[in-house]
Amino acid sequence: MAQPPRHDPVSIGGVVKPSFAHLPEPQTLFLERAQRFRAVAHDHDLKRYLLFLADLCEAQHRVQDGLPAAELPAADELARARAFEMPPLDRSRFTPDAACEASLNGLCSCIGLCELTPAANAALRKVRNADAATLAVTMQSVLSDSIPVDAIAEHVFVAAALQVHFARLAAQLDVKNLVAVADGACPTCGGPPASSLVVAWQGAGGARFCACALCGTLWNYIRAKCCVCGSTKSITYQEIEGGPGTIKAECCAECRTYVKVLHHQKDISLDPIADDVASLGLDLLVRETGLRRGGVNPFLIGY
Ligand SMILES: [Zn+2]
Ligand SMILES: [Zn+2]
């Protein structure tokens, strides 16, 4: 996430505005995330799990070599989505194709080469042996953010494969054609943010972007506005006392949720997915006040 955006901020009448969205670069996204998971694992209570996620992200990076092209919807479908302010890669209408299945098979092979716990190995075996109908149901659970707590490990592998597939699709879109679809919804796939970033990019410094865990899109979203319901009425911030102040929970009293805000201006290496998992302590703190997570990160289900 340390990389500057590909698309320059827009200058309107001499006032520089951050671009509306930043599409993922799958060739670097997962490798950088793997490095970040490895860095935050050091001396962490969740060290073992964070190192597993580092291996999984490395597998997400490696699997892309040799995958068939991920095919975008037809041009007229994309145009229709834009006209109706719908996400072009609507996750709620997704059906797996050959490239998606190849991503899952390849990812299972790559991660299978790593040293896994017996539980992770058993889950991986289940995914590899699952029939198409079972996999379709598993994918649906990931895409609808309804991962069952008794089968989290299987869903983590499938979620990782879907992240690769959706990031490869999203990278082919024209960022200029993306439009805001709703408060708290990714303009590419329609999903909720995992967390949000206040960036330090040149020309866009201080702007906040929501981060999608599925397709990797970042979209501009004003600060001090709830990323779930859009309310600006009762926003407060919580953080771990005595901490570095790099990650805060933006809490909304209207819808009783919170979404984390990661501050690149204080630490450029923060990653919206890896640091979301590594800052679990903040979730535990905020949940004591009765708020629930608004961000959705498949690697944090069950905690
Ligand atoms: Zn998305
Ligand atoms: Zn809210």
Question: What number is the average pLDDT over the span 238-265?
Answer: 96
pLDDT of residue 16: 59
pLDDT of residue 12: 47
> Shortest CA distance to 268 belongs to which of 216, 175, 202?
202
What ligand has the least distance to the C-alpha of 252?
A: 2
Q: Which helix (H) or strand (E) holds 218?
A: strand 218-220
Decide if pLDDT at 3 tops 60. no
Distance 297 CA to ligand 1 centre (A): 12
**pLDDT > 90 in the chain, percent:** 88
* Local confidence band at 18 (pLDDT 50, 70, 90 cut-offs): confident
Residue 198 has phi, psi (to 5 degrees) of -95, 115
What protein residues have CB closer than 5 angstroms to ion ligand 1?
A: 186, 188-189, 191, 212, 214-215, 217
Distance 13 CA to ligand 1 centre (A): 31
What ligand has the least distance to the C-alpha of 22?
A: 1
| Residue 256 region by backbone torsions, left for phi larger than 0, else alpha for psi between -120 and 50, else beta | left
Question: What number is the average pLDDT over the span 114-121?
Answer: 94
Distance 193 CA to ligand 2 centre (A): 13
- Average pLDDT over all residues of the chain: 93
Question: What number is the average pLDDT over the span 107-130?
Answer: 95
> Shortest CA distance to 261 belongs to which of 242, 246, 278?
246
**Neighbour count for residue 99 (Cβ, 10 Å):** 16
Helix (H) and strand (E) counts for the chain? 9, 10
What ligand has the least distance to the C-alpha of 296?
A: 1
pLDDT of residue 66: 87
What ligand has the least distance to the C-alpha of 90?
A: 1
N- to C-terminal Cα separation, the chain: 24
169-174: Cβ within 8 A, 24+ apart: 169/70, 169/72, 169/89, 169/215, 170/23, 170/24, 170/89, 170/215, 170/216, 170/217, 171/23, 171/24, 171/25, 171/26, 172/70, 172/72, 173/23, 173/72, 173/78, 173/88, 173/89
pLDDT in tens, 23-40: 999 999 999 999 999 999
Residues 175 and 184: their CA atoms lie apart, in Å, by 18
Distance 239 CA to ligand 2 centre (A): 18
Decide if pLDDT at 22 tops 80. yes
pLDDT of residue 187: 98
90-94: Cβ within 8 A, 24+ apart: 90/189, 90/190, 91/143, 91/166, 91/189, 91/190, 91/191, 91/214, 92/143, 92/144, 92/190, 94/139, 94/143
pLDDT of residue 15: 53
pLDDT in tens, 149-197: 999 999 999 999 999 999 999 999 999 999 999 999 999 999 999 999 9
Distance 235 CA to ligand 2 centre (A): 8
The CA angle 231-236-241, to the nearest 5 degrees, is 155
Judge residue 161's burial from the number of C-beta atoms within 10 Å of its C-beta, 0-12 exposed, 13-18 middle, 19 or more buried: buried
What ligand has the least distance to the C-alpha of 229?
A: 2
* Local confidence band at 302 (pLDDT 50, 70, 90 cut-offs): confident
Structure tokens at 122: 């058993």
Distance 59 CA to ligand 2 centre (A): 35
Distance 220 CA to ligand 1 centre (A): 13
What ligand has the least distance to the C-alpha of 171?
A: 1
- Is residue 273 within 8 A of residue 33, CB to CB? The reply is yes
Distance 243 CA to ligand 1 centre (A): 30
pLDDT in tens, 28-78: 999 999 999 999 999 999 999 999 999 999 999 999 998 999 999 999 999
Prediction pTM value: 0.94
